[in-house]
């Protein structure tokens, strides 16, 4: 049997180390998890996301105390009870609403950072794939949460999105009714999306975050030059006290303190929005109770879904669904359709740099067009062109990366 020191004080470092391998754990996850020095504030976005998820969980727990998952009671439990009766109920609601919106801004920044620096390439494919898993899970979490206040936008977004599962000409209305538990969104629909929002999807998210962190541990995070660092050598320099010469720093406490600084700046902005500008995250149409006999004049999703919504909209039903499906899945394949061997920032990769900015701008244009009503022919045309351009970006990437020149490292 293992040896347990009889003199070790209960819960002291030694006592814990003998029982749960505390020191090994600290070494693997903190003090000897090496982070390159050559990175910038964009590398703090991952921990900013983790912290925002934490804030969403905490505010959600307090909302849960008074929320009533019932088609007759839900609207008032949110808009009356939580907003005006519960002490500081408004705070949890605004924190939760602003958090749910801002988390997508940070996710997009985090994703485009990965794309810009080629952080999805050989060795880092699983980081990217688990990240896409998180993106899908967060999208489902945001959608299910949007159902809960049971306002007009909840109801009609629920109607339109669940109808997507009829698969167009496949006419799979049985599947749609199965998902809803009703012919239209109703009580059974609300209670099952409540279950998904407060239990099943958060559990999946927690699991995926653990997986995402796990996939990072061996490849390590990328750096601004995409340099291949000899971590053993750099680590021994650090441990020998040559901290200036070493190319790395330990995750904790050194890198984490930088992360926490960026988080500090982020949370100033976050709480500014919560207290002075929460309305951007609260759609006015959703302050009307759900009414199955009246569609709002103009239905649009929250801003973070607009780009993919705009890819659905300009086409006929079947083509639109196929285009939408491709757009949803496209980013998953990035590690496999980028044929270039170079792990380098976009500005060193020739045509790839143009591709990157065109993609980013195209998605911003799609987002802007998606918010407009479908009546203006000029904007509808711009939307159509941007949607087609988006669909072409995948094949274009394959071609330009096939011909990308290999960058000689160390030059």
Binding site for ligand HEM (CB under 6 A): 43, 45-47, 49-50, 53, 107, 110-111, 114, 117, 119-120, 124, 127-128, 131-132, 134-135, 138, 209, 212, 216, 221-222
**Taking CB under 8 A as the rule, does residue 313 contact another protein?**
yes
Q: Residue 271 and residue 92: Cα distance in Å, rounded? A: 12
Site for another protein in 286-305 (CB under 8 A): 292-295, 297-299
**Taking CB under 8 A as the rule, does residue 5 contact another protein?**
no
Q: Give min distance, CB of 294 to another protein, in A.
A: 7
Secondary structure (3-state) at 239: helix
Q: Give min distance, CB of 201 to ligand HEM, in A.
A: 12
Contact 179, 143 (CB under 8 A): no
Q: Give min distance, CB of 249 to another protein, in A.
A: 47
Binding pattern for the stretch 135-174 against another protein, x by CB under 8 A and - elsewhere: ---------------------x--xx--xx---xx-----
Other beta carbons within 10 angstroms of residue 242's beta carbon come to: 11
Element (H, E) at 368: helix 351-371
Q: Give min distance, CB of 302 to another protein, in A.
A: 16
CB nearer to ligand HEM: give 71 or 134: 134
Q: Give min distance, CB of 374 to another protein, in A.
A: 4
247 binds, among ligand HEM, another protein, none (CB under 5 to 8 A by kind): none
Q: Give min distance, CB of 377 to ligand HEM, in A.
A: 35
> How many residues are recorded in the chain?
411
295 binds, among ligand HEM, another protein, none (CB under 5 to 8 A by kind): another protein
Peptide bond into 154 cis (omega under 30): no
> 248-250 and 34-36: which strand pairing?
antiparallel
CB-based burial, 105-121: b 16+ in 10 Å, e otherwise: ebbbebbbbbbbbbbbb
**Taking CB under 8 A as the rule, does residue 192 contact another protein?**
yes
Contact 348, 411 (CB under 8 A): no
With contacts defined by CB under 8 A, how many residues of the chain interact with another protein? 36
The residue at minimum Cβ distance from ligand HEM is 46
**Taking CB under 8 A as the rule, does residue 26 contact another protein?**
no
Give the DSSP letter string of 114-167. Answer: HHHTTTTSTT-HHHHHHHHHHHHHHHHHHHHHHHTT-BHHHHHHHHHHHHGGG-
Q: Residue 201 and residue 330: Cα distance in Å, rounded? A: 22
CB-based burial, 295-305: b 16+ in 10 Å, e otherwise: ebeebbbbbbb
Q: What are phi and psi of 89, to 5 degrees?
A: -55, -40
Contact 187, 71 (CB under 8 A): yes
Q: Which of 303, 315, 331, 333 binds another protein (CB under 8 A)?
A: 315
Q: Which of 1, 84, 241, 375 binds another protein (CB under 8 A)?
A: 375
Q: Residue 267 and residue 136: Cα distance in Å, rounded? A: 25
Binding pattern for the stretch 322-361 against another protein, x by CB under 8 A and - elsewhere: ----------------------------------------
212 binds, among another protein, ligand HEM, none (CB under 5 to 8 A by kind): ligand HEM
Contact 116, 177 (CB under 8 A): no
Q: Give min distance, CB of 28 to ligand HEM, in A.
A: 16
Burial label, 276 (beta-carbon count in 10 A; 0-12, 13-18, 19+): exposed
Q: Which of 217, 317, 348, 409 binds another protein (CB under 8 A)?
A: 317
Structure tokens at 340: 């270039």
Q: Which of 125, 182, 225, 288 binds another protein (CB under 8 A)?
A: 182
Considering only CA atoms, which of 366, 343, 351 is closest in space to residue 114? 343
Q: Give min distance, CB of 166 to another protein, in A.
A: 9
**Taking CB under 8 A as the rule, does residue 197 contact another protein?**
no
202 binds, among ligand HEM, another protein, none (CB under 5 to 8 A by kind): none
Residues engaged in binding another protein (CB under 8 A): 156, 159-160, 163-164, 168-169, 177-184, 186, 188, 192, 292-295, 297-299, 312-313, 315-318, 320, 373-375, 380
């Amino acid at each position: 049997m293992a040896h347990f020191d009889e003199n070790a004080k209960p819960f002291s470092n030694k006592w814990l180390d003998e029982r749960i391998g505390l020191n090994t754990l600290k070494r693997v996850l903190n003090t000897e998890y090496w982070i390159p020095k050559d990175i910038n504030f964009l590398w703090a976005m991952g921990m900013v996301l983790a912290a925002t998820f934490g804030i969403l969980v905490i505010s959600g727990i307090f909302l849960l105390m008074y929320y009533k998952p019932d088609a007759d009671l839900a609207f008032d439990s949110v808009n009356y009870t939580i907003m005006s009766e519960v002490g500081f109920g408004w705070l949890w609601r605004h924190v939760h609403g602003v958090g749910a919106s801002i988390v997508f801004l940070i996710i997009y920044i985090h994703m485009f950072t990965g794309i810009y620096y080629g952080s999805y390439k050989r060795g880092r494919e699983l980081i990217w794939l688990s990240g896409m898993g998180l993106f899908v899970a967060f999208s489902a979490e945001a959608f299910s949460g949007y159902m809960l206040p049971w306002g007009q936008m909840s109801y009609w977004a629920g109607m339109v999105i669940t109808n997507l599962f009829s698969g167009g000409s496949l006419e799979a209305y049985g599947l749609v009714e199965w998902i809803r538990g009703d012919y239209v969104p109703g009580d059974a629909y609300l209670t099952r999306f409540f279950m998904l929002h407060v239990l099943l999807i958060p559990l999946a998210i927690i699991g995926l975050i653990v997986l995402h962190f796990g996939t990072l541990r061996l490849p390590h995070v990328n750096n601004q030059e995409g340099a291949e660092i000899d971590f053993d050598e750099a680590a021994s320099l650090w441990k020998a006290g040559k901290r200036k010469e070493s190319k790395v720093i330990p995750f904790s406490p050194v890198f984490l303190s930088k992360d926490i600084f960026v988080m500090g700046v982020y949370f100033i902005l976050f709480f500014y929005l919560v207290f002075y500008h929460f309305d951007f995250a609260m759609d006015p149409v959703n302050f009307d109770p759900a009414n199955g006999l009246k569609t709002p004049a103009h239905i649009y999703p929250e801003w973070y879904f607009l780009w993919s919504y705009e890819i659905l909209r300009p086409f006929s039903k079947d083509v639109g669904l196929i285009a939408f499906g491709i757009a949803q899945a496209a980013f998953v394949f990035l590690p496999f359709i980028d044929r270039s061997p170079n792990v380098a920032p976009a500005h060193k990769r020739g045509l790839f740099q143009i591709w990157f900015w065109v993609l980013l701008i195209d998605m911003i244009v799609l987002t802007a067009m998606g918010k407009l009503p479908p009546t203006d022919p000029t904007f509808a045309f711009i939307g159509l062109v941007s949607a087609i351009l988006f669909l072409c970006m995948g094949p274009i990437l394959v071609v330009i990366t096939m011909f990308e020149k290999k960058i000689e490292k160390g030059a």
